[in-house]
Amino acid sequence: MSLAGDALNAFIESQIFFPDPFLVWTPAEVGLSYQDVWIDTTDRVRLHGWLVPAESSLGLFFFCHGNAGNISHRVDNIQRLHEIGFTVFIFDYRGYGKSEGRISEAGFYLDAEAAYQTAQSFAERDNLKLIVFGRSLGGIAAVHIASRSACSGVILESTFTHMGAMAREHFPLPGTERALRSRLNSVDKIGRVKAPLLFFHGDLDAIVPIRLGQELFEAAPNPKEFVVIPGAGHNDTYLVAGKPYFDKLVAFAKGLR
């Protein structure tokens, strides 16, 4: 890549990834037992995650989080998932939390692949369904994984088709969408997913407009379902929806093979 290309790449990625290296909570602070998990990627970066087991588990909920913060900012969400019966495995991408390295798009995919291998080993060990979940940017990771690896089901929340579409929404400059369409692209991969799909999206999402989630849904194979959460924005879906959101998760998990 040329120097100009390197500079453009660095600028683009600086607008996507917002890692926070400091953990502010652990599951223990909300009364949950958990295990620190360390993962080695194929390019020798060490990642950190948590395994939060649940008795009589509905399945292993493999949680790919969004572009900001780290796993500690998802403790409330983990607690609520645990309460309804999921074992949760969540990890940080490189440069986030205790994970080593510096985040990039290429590294983001390698991290998701390595974390999936770990999640799969936990699911097989405990004879659990493996449910891949991705919120926002994490939905890109979830589709990447599910398009190439086996899982019981996939849940995508507040996610999008590709970076070009996001650029069209937020930086509507001539040629931007075409130039960035190949970046963080899930719409060209989702057709290869062989597991049932469940989508959630808030109708007031100002970061990832609901139409981008609907475009991804339209490209997805059956079986699939799209759930609109009235009044929800980008980061408050499960808080706004409340019990019906979690009831839908339980029903989806119970319906998987």
What are the catalytic residues?
Answer: 136, 205, 234
Sheet arrangement for strand 130-135 = 35-40, 46-52, 86-91, 59-64, 130-135, 153-157, 197-202, 224-229
Look up residue 174 and give its amino acid.
Answer: P
187 closest CA partner among 158, 162, 223? 162
Q: What is the C-alpha to C-alpha distance for residues 130 and 224, in angstroms, rounded to an integer?
A: 17
54's tokens:
């649940």
Q: Are 72 and 26 a contacting pair, CB within 8 Å?
A: yes
